[in-house]
């Protein structure tokens, strides 16, 4: 029997790294006669994508990235504000960096991103070692802010723009495997969910022009990348109009343009909003084999009453209809994942049971699950009472996680005995003798390395599985599940 190799299950608990608390740091660049920049990025893929823009901007100002915080002349913490835990983690990190700054007086520290936008000048007052505070729409201004901070002044720019998309800035790919990359297609959010700080930290929604997106994807493919993920807070509301006299480009049209670059360029996207995803998008996914059959469709709750309090603008029945359309157009094997919040304001046991029953109906492949964390300044914090006791939130969260673990295993068991087209992304975390990659449904697949290379497409016959991983061996057949 093959050695059993498994990867981390994409389910988040208090004991695990939440998605918003994932941390990535910059890698070493050649830095002859250049100052060294260290970026530590927290949070979602949008933040990691923004750090690639920041690195590009600062390269033009004479900086090269480093993986060593001790070697840095400039440290940026690109922050997340979606949960209190994420903010506390950044504050604790600043305390540790203060000791480094005392040993290296010329060192400058900047706080970027959503936490910077939310707390603004308070960061300069409360965290005395912070020199620069910059919001997500002000990264072009960083060279000037760094220069200003170098004179001993505190430098702040948290202006939120209605136009900035950074479309003309070529990102520096950080932490890249050279195979998969993210492309930001829009910024901000107009949805105003009552629990969410994003509209206040990233501003109003605006779409990047489709020509620059396609050009970036073409460049990545030419450089050897074989998969791109189109990123936005709500990709389904993407709409770019070149002028008042032209028809807007929709997300479905953008998807088709990127997919048409080359059949060997896989296309993924995240995140979809249940109120906006259309049949046109689903039929476009069906038309192109290289658009992965996987949709991240956050529900947040299975209770219509709670969804209304969350201002999600859809109810349980609407969400179920979207699940039904996905299954009808893309088939039962289409991967679907979710976000779910337990213990939102006034949530009852009946509401909780509605969430569990929705999960059973949707048959999710995996999910990102959280206990509700009130964020200052949101409509929920202003108008609702966070009245569900912590222990009840956690008990409900554990029940949601247990349900998802069972569903994940059942969904993966459907894949056993089938052949899957897998893009080789790297060496397995558990064994140098195995590669890992993902199939069409975004599932991690482990298989022996043999003579394959990163970036190859291989066909894997899945012979066993866990709740997190598909395990198998390569075959010559080209019939794909």
Numbered residues of the known binding site for [4Fe-4S] cluster: 44, 80, 114, 189, 193, 196
Phi, psi of 141 (to 5 degrees): -85, 0
Pairing, β 206-207 against β 457-465: unpaired
Secondary structure element (H or E) that encloses residue 219, with its range: helix 210-222
For 164, residues 6+ apart whose C-beta sits below 8 A from its C-beta are: 137, 140, 187, 206
Q: Give the distance between the most distant pair of CA atoms in the chain.
A: 65
Angle between helices 279-287 and 316-330 (to 10 degrees): 20
Angle, in degrees to the nearest 10, between helices 142-150 and 45-59: 70
Strands in 294-296's sheet, in edge-to-edge order, are 294-296, 335-342, 366-371
- Which two three-digit tokens encode residue 107? 């060192």
Residues 6+ apart with CB under 8 A from 96: none
Joined together, the tokens standing for residue 435 give 């590669």
Residues within the annotated binding site?
44, 80, 114, 189, 193, 196
Q: Are 274 and 295 in contact (CB under 8 A)?
A: no
């Amino acid at each position: 029997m093959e050695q059993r190799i498994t990867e981390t299950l994409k389910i988040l608990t208090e004991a695990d790294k939440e998605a918003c608390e994932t941390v990535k740091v910059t890698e070493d660049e050649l830095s002859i006669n250049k100052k060294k920049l260290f970026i530590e990025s927290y949070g979602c893929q949008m933040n990691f994508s923004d750090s690639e823009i920041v690195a590009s901007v600062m390269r033009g100002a004479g900086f090269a990235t480093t993986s060593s915080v001790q070697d840095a002349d400039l440290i940026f913490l690109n922050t997340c504000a979606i949960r209190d835990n994420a903010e506390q983690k950044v504050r604790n990190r600043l305390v540790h960096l203060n000791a480094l700054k005392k040993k290296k007086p010329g060192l400058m520290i900047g706080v970027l991103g959503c936490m910077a936008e939310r707390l603004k000048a308070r960061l300069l007052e409360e965290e005395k070692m912070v020199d620069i505070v910059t919001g997500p729409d002000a990264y072009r201004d960083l060279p000037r802010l760094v220069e200003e901070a170098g004179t001993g002044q505190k430098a702040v720019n948290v202006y939120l723009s209605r136009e900035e998309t950074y479309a003309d800035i070529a990102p520096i790919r950080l932490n890249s495997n050279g195979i998969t990359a993210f492309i930001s297609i829009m910024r901000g959010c107009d949805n105003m969910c009552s629990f969410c700080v994003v509209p206040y930290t990233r501003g109003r929604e605006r779409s990047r022009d489709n020509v620059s997106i396609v050009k970036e994807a073409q460049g990545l493919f030419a450089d050897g990348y074989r998969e791109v993920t189109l990123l936005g807070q709500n990709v389904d509301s993407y709409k770019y109009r070149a002028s008042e006299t032209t028809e807007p480009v929709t997300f479905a049209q953008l998807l088709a343009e990127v997919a048409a670059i080359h059949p060997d360029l896989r296309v993924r996207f995240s995140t979809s909003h249940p109120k906006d995803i259309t049949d046109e998008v689903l039929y476009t996914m069906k038309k192109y084999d290289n658009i992965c059959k996987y949709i991240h469709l956050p529900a947040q709750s299975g209770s219509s009453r709670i969804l209304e309090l969350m201002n999600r603008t859809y109810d349980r029945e609407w969400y179920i209809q979207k699940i039904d359309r996905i299954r009808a157009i893309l088939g039962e094997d289409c991967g679907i994942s979710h976000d779910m919040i337990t213990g939102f304001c006034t949530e009852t046991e009946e509401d909780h049971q509605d969430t569990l029953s929705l999960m059973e109906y949707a048959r999710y492949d995996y999910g990102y699950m959280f206990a509700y964390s009130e964020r200052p300044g949101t409509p929920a914090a202003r108008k609702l009472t966070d009245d569900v006791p912590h222990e009840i939130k956690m008990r409900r969260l554990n029940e949601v996680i247990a349900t998802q673990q069972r569903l994940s295993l059942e969904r993966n068991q459907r894949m056993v005995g089938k052949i899957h087209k897998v893009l080789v992304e790297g060496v397995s975390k558990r064994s140098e003798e195995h590669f890992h990659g993902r199939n069409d449904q975004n599932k991690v697949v482990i298989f022996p390395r043999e003579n394959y290379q990163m970036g190859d497409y291989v066909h894997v016959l899945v012979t066993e599985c866990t709740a997190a991983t598909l395990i198998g061996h390569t075959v010559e057949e080209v019939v794909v599940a």
